[in-house]
């Protein structure tokens, strides 16, 4: 046995219900949980590493279903701090056209560091901008994920309809469609690992209805389906997007996607803020995944998505922090808390229970990303674990009442330890293998030089 965590308080989900297991040992071997059982001294025999768990709450690593890791480069940009989505994007494209390998890798490393330090062990990344002449490829993100040790769904994103053809992005930020499809296939062949405990999958992800063509949506869908890949895009985020789709296509965003076959178990959509009743039913019927990004929706003033209503109908929902330029926090655990609070603004105090928020951040995200071996602390699940100290001041009082309530209602502290694939990536509240301050300084230097 590689590792055993002894006598811990484990908070997990059994079937669909959050549970608290007090005084349990978690046995880990080969990156996989082998046993979760009442503590017993015989369990430590032969273990290479013993972590005394008496002081810890142990929960499954959280799963972030939507991000743009490179956006740390333009986090907090002064000129767009008060802009809605379209104004915000229009200004940011002018910064993002200068992306290159180094900038994206450093920015992605910062974003991943924040995720790990907030209890997230798996992230999706929607990387959709490959400026002409930059030579930029998805490797910039994959290299950062490898170095920091996070599990990733790296979406090969795309934009092909520039301003001259009626799209929102400038022509300098869009790619030729043949190049997009060719490079998507290259990335899949080089990097996609479909195995159950895979650390790296490639999903395909045209950016939005206002930056790609019908042809690219259809070709991407057929490339994904012939290679068993997930599909991802933004949808129904703002009223501006809805108006764009109504004017240009005479369809609402979800109708537009449905017309292109873009709904189903292998599709997940970021936002889904502006839905009517029949669109909600359609997302549930097709089991299309939804990445709910509450902070970004608040930051850009996009609206409040009807998540409680979707969950009551049986929708497949996870949580996403969204890119660092529209959620300047990038904190996965805080995002789950924010999801709970925002639904209560919309639907009252019972609209989002603590158990429901816990599920969204763990098994909900695993379902959206089609990952049956993630999101729970139980045998045969990946050893992706987050350990919080029970005596952290942020939990004081609450943890003695109800550990699930403490985790979802209190302001989340830094975890003491985070494990991905059985390897410790956060230790004593800090990144185990990377100098956090040096990383932050590298990003600040890059921003000062080229992204202000």
Which C-beta is closer to Zn ion: that of 8 or that of 207?
207
When the beta carbons of 112 and 419 are compared against Zn ion, the nearer one is 112
Region from 36-44, 154-162, 318-326, 349-357 binding Zn ion, contact rule CB under 5 A: 318-326
CA distance 331 to 348: 24
Interface segment toward Zn ion; rule CB under 5 A; list 101-109, 218-226, 315-323, 411-419: 315-323
Tell me how far, at minimum, the Cβ of 68 lies from Zn ion, in Å. 6
Nearer to Zn ion, 126 or 414 (CB): 126
Strand 17-29 with 151-158, pairing: unpaired
Site string for Zn ion, 258-277 (x = CB under 5 A): ------------x-------
- Hey, is 335 helix, strand or coil? helix
Checking DSSP bridges between strand 267-271 and strand 417-420, what pairing results, if any? unpaired
Collapsing DSSP to helix, strand or coil, 373 comes out as coil
Residue 287 CB, nearest distance to Zn ion (Å)? 21
Nearer to Zn ion, 216 or 291 (CB): 291
Q: How many residues does the chain have?
A: 452
Where in 289-407 does DSSP place strands (E)?
289-292, 316-319, 385-389
Task: Give residues 284-313 in contact with Zn ion (rule: CB under 5 A).
Answer: none
Cβ neighbours of 331 (radius 10 Å): 21
To Zn ion, the closest distance from the beta carbon of 128 in angstroms equals 9
Q: How near is the Cβ of 157 to Zn ion at its closest, in Å?
A: 10
Helix (H) / strand (E) containing 200: strand 200-206
Nearer Cβ to Zn ion, position 71 or 184? 71
Total residues in contact with Zn ion, by rule CB under 5 A: 2
Burial class (CB in 10 A: 0-12, 13-18, 19+), 287: middle
| CB of 241 or CB of 322, closer to Zn ion | 322
CB atoms within 10 A of CB 428: 8
Closest-CA residue to 33 (of 442, 449, 419): 419
Strands 49-52 vs 267-271: parallel, antiparallel or unpaired:
unpaired
Candidates 81-89, 92-100, 165-173, 320-328; binding stretch for Zn ion (CB under 5 A):
320-328
CB of 429 to Zn ion, least distance (A): 29
Measure the CA–CA gap between 50 and 39, rounded to whole angstroms. 13
Min dist. Cβ of residue 205 to Zn ion (A): 10
Give the binding range for Zn ion (CB under 5 A) out of 153-161, 174-182, 316-324, 347-355: 316-324
Instruction: State how far the Cα of 293 lies from the Cα of 271, in Å rounded to an integer.
Output: 6
Q: Give the nearer residue to Zn ion in terms of CB position, either 221 or 270.
A: 270
Give the residue nearest to Zn ion (CB): 322
- The residues that touch Zn ion, with contacts defined as CB under 5 A, are 270, 322
């Amino acid at each position: 046995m590689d590792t055993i965590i002894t006598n811990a308080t484990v908070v997990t989900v059994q079937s669909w219900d959050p549970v608290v297991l007090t005084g349990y040992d978690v046995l880990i071997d080969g990156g996989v949980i082998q046993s979760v059982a009442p503590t017993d001294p015989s369990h430590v025999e032969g273990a290479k590493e013993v972590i005394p768990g008496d002081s810890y709450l142990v929960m499954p690593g959280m799963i972030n279903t939507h991000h743009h890791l490179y956006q740390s480069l333009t986090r907090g940009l002064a000129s767009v701090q008060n802009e809605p989505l379209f104004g915000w994007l229009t200004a940011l494209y002018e910064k993002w056209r200068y992306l290159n390998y180094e900038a994206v890798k450093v920015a992605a490393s910062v974003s991943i560091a924040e995720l790990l330090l907030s209890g997230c062990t798996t992230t999706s990344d929607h990387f959709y901008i490959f400026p002409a002449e930059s030579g930029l490829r998805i490797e910039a993100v994959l290299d950062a994920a490898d170095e920091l040790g996070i599990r990733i769904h790296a979406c090969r994103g795309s934009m092909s309809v520039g301003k001259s053809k009626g799209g929102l992005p400038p022509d300098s930020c869009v790619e030729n469609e043949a190049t997009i499809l060719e490079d998507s296939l290259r990335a899949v062949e080089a990097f996609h690992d479909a195995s159950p405990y895979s650390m790296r999958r490639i999903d395909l992800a045209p950016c939005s209805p206002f930056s790609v063509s019908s042809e690219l949506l259809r070709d991407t869908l057929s490339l994904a389906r012939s290679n068993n890949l997930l599909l991802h895009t933004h949808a129904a985020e703002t009223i501006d997007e809805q108006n764009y789709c109504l004017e240009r296509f005479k369809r609402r965003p979800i109708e537009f996607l449905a017309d292109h076959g873009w709904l189903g178990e292998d599709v997940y959509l970021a936002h889904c803020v502006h839905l009517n009743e029949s669109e909600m039913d359609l997302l549930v019927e097709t089991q299309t995944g939804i990445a709910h990004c509450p902070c970004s929706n608040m930051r850009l003033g996009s609206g409040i998505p009807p998540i409680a209503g979707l969950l009551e109908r049986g929708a497949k929902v996870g949580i996403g922090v969204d890119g660092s330029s529209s959620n300047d926090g990038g904190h996965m655990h805080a995002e789950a808390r924010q999801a709970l609070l925002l639904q209560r603004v919309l639907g009252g105090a019972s609209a989002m229970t603590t158990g429901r928020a816990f599920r969204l951040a763990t098994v909900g995200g695993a379902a959206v990303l089609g990952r049956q071996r993630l999101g729970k602390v139980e045998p045969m699940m990946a050893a992706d674990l987050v350990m919080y100290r029970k005596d952290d001041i942020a939990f004081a009082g609450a943890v003695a009442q109800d550990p699930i309530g403490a985790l979802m209602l209190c302001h989340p502290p830094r975890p003491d330890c985070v494990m991905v694939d059985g390897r410790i990536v956060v230790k004593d509240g800090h990144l185990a293998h990377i100098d956090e301050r040096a990383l932050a300084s590298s990003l600040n230097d890059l921003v000062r030089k080229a992204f202000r």
